[in-house]
C-alpha cells in the first residue's frame, strides 16, 4: 500500500515539475551576464564654507553629509557605478573667477570601492564658493558613455554664487542634449530662493527636489535615488499641447508631461497604422487647493472632428490626482481599402474641470502626465489574445493539458488501487 502511495505521489510530482519547466523558462545562473546596461550615479556635494554651519541634529551640515554618504556607500547596489564630485572644496580665497572653477572629481564613476570612497569623503572640509552650474556641467561629463540610466544627485545648502552661469539653464542644456540624464536636488536649508533654484534644476530634467533638515532624511533620500538608478523608471518627456488639433505635436509611444490651465483643453496627435491599437491614458494632478468637484476627459477624435472613443473620470476632493484612459483598435485594411491611406491621424483631447480655490493662483497650469502606446492590434499574434489573456494564453493551454493528463493518471491509479484492494 505504501509503495502505491509513493508511486502516485511521484507521478504527481513529475507532472508538476513538467508543468513548471514548460511554463517558465529556466532562470539565468547566478553571475551570468544579463545584457542590461550599467546604471551610473554621480553624487555632487557642496563643500563650500557655509557647510560649517551647525544646524542639523546638533552638528554641522558637513558632518551630516559625511555620515549620510558613509551609509549610502554601504548600501549602494553592486550593479551601480557610483562617483563623487565636489564643489567649493579646494579654493579658500576671495577671487571669484578662481572660486567659480572649484569643482573636482573626488571619486571617479566606477565600480564602487567602498573603503576608498569613504576615505576620500573623510578628507573633506568646508572651504570655498558654490559653483553649482560648473559642477553640473562637469558631472554630466563624468557620466558620459554607456546605455544605462544616468543620474546626478546634487546636495547643497546654498544658491549658486557663480552667475551668470545659471544652474537652471545648465540643467536645461543637459536635458536638451537628449542623453537621458536626470538631476535630483536636495536642499539642506529651508530657504525660499534656494528651493526655487533647486526645483528648477530638477524639473528641467524630470528629476525631483527634496528639502531635508535631518541626517536620517538625507541618508534615506540619497539611498532611494541610488536605488532608483539601479531600477530606472521611464523618464517623462516634456511636451506642449496645442489649443487645437491642427497645431498639436505628434507623439510616439512614450510618457509625456505637460501643464494645463484650469478648464482648458490640450490637443496632441498620434499616427495609428491599420491593424494597430492606440492605448492612451492621462493623469491630471491638483498641485494646489482646488474646488471639491472636478473631472478629466480624454477623447480620441478624427482630424474632421468625429469622436472615436472617450474616457472620463470624476472626483470629489478625496484625492489630488484623477486619471482616465481609452483604447482604439484601427481595423486591418482589406482589398477594398487599398486606395485609402494606411495611417490615420488621431487627435487626443485632454480636458479638465478643476476650479481654483479662492485666492489660489491659476498659473502655471496643472501638471498632467499622458501615456501613449501604439501596439499591434488584436489580430496580431503575440500582443492581445482572445479573452484578454495576452501573451499568457499558451501558459493556460499548458496548464489545461497537464491537468488533463494528471486527471487521467490519477484515475487510472485509483482504479488500480481499488482492484488490488478487492483482490486482497
- Look-up: residue for cell 534644476? 201
Question: Of the candidates 147, 148, 256, 131, which has an alpha carbon nearest to the alpha carbon of residue 206?
Answer: 256
Cis-peptide into 286, omega within 30 deg: no
Distance between CA atoms of 184 and 222, rounded to whole angstroms?
9
List own/partner pairs for 135-139 with CB under 8 A and 24 or more apart: 135/44, 135/85, 135/86, 135/87, 135/103, 136/44, 136/167, 136/170, 136/171, 136/174, 136/183, 136/201, 137/170, 137/174, 138/85, 138/103, 138/105, 139/42, 139/44, 139/85
pTM score, two decimals?
0.53
Low-confidence ranges of the chain (pLDDT < 70): 1-36, 178, 232-235, 317-320, 334-341, 377-400, 402-404, 407, 410-411, 414-415, 417-424
Distances (CA, A) of 182 to 54, 168, 207, 418: 31, 13, 5, 70
Q: Residue 414: which residues within 8 A CB-CB, separation 6 or more?
A: none
Q: Closest Cα to residue 150, out of 93, 220, 219, 228?
A: 228
What are the distances in angstroms from CA 198 to CA 42, 201, 221, 226? Answer: 17, 5, 15, 19
DSSP state of 48: B
The CB-side HSE value for 53 (13 A sphere, CA atoms) comes to 14
Give the domains, in start order, of the chain with CATH numbers: 39-230 (3.40.50.410), 237-333+340-376 (2.60.120.380)
Task: Residue 265: name the closest of 288, 293, 287, 284 by CA.
Answer: 284
pLDDT of residue 67: 95
Amino acid at each position: 500500500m505504501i509503495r502505491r502511495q509513493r508511486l502516485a505521489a511521484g507521478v504527481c510530482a513529475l507532472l508538476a515539475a513538467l508543468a513548471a519547466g514548460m511554463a517558465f523558462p529556466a532562470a539565468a545562473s547566478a553571475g551570468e551576464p544579463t545584457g542590461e546596461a550599467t546604471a551610473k550615479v554621480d553624487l555632487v556635494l557642496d563643500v563650500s564654507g557655509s557647510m560649517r554651519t551647525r544646524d542639523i541634529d546638533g552638528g554641522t551640515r558637513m558632518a551630516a553629509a559625511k555620515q549620510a554618504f558613509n551609509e549610502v556607500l554601504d548600501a549602494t547596489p553592486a550593479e551601480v557605478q557610483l562617483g563623487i564630485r565636489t564643489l567649493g572644496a579646494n579654493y579658500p580665497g576671495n577671487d571669484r573667477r578662481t572660486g567659480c572653477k572649484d569643482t573636482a572629481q573626488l571619486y571617479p564613476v566606477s565600480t564602487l570601492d567602498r573603503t576608498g570612497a569613504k576615505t576620500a569623503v573623510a578628507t573633506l572640509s568646508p572651504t570655498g564658493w558654490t559653483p553649482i552650474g560648473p559642477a553640473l556641467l562637469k558631472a554630466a561629463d563624468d557620466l558620459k558613455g554607456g546605455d544605462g540610466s544616468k543620474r546626478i544627485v546634487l546636495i547643497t545648502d546654498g544658491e549658486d554664487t557663480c552667475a551668470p552661469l545659471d544652474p537652471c539653464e545648465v540643467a536645461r542644456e543637459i536635458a536638451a542634449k537628449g542623453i537621458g540624464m536626470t538631476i535630483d536636488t536636495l536642499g539642506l536649508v529651508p530657504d525660499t530662493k534656494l528651493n526655487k533654484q533647486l526645483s528648477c534644476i530638477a524639473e528641467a530634467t524630470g528629476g525631483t527636489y527634496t528639502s531635508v533638515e535631518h541626517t536620517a532624511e538625507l541618508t534615506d533620500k540619497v539611498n532611494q535615488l541610488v536605488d532608483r538608478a539601479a531600477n530606472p523608471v521611464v523618464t517623462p518627456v516634456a511636451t506642449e499641447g496645442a489649443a487645437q488639433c491642427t497645431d498639436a505635436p505628434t507623439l510616439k509611444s512614450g510618457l509625456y508631461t505637460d501643464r494645463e490651465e484650469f478648464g482648458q483643453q490640450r490637443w496632441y496627435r498620434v499616427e495609428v497604422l491599420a491593424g494597430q491599437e492606440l492605448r492612451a491614458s492621462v493623469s491630471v494632478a491638483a498641485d494646489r487647493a482646488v474646488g471639491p468637484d472636478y473631472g478629466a476627459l480624454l477623447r480620441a477624435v478624427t482630424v474632421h472632428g468625429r469622436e472615436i472613443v472617450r474616457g472620463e473620470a470624476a472626483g470629489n476632493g478625496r484625492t489630488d490626482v484623477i486619471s482616465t484612459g481609452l483604447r482604439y483598435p484601427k481595423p486591418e485594411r482589406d482589398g477594398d481599402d487599398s486606395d485609402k491611406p494606411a495611417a490615420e491621424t488621431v487627435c487626443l483631447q485632454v480636458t479638465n474641470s478643476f476650479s481654483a480655490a479662492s485666492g489660489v493662483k491659476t498659473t502655471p497650469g496643472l501638471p498632467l502626465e499622458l501615456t501613449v502606446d501604439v501596439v499591434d492590434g488584436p489580430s496580431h499574434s503575440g500582443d492581445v489574445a482572445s479573452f484578454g489573456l495576452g501573451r499568457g494564453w499558451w501558459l493556460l493551454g499548458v496548464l489545461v493539458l497537464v491537468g488533463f493528463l494528471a486527471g487521467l493518471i490519477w484515475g487510472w491509479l485509483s482504479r488500480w488501487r481499488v482492484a488490488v484492494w478487492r483482490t486482497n
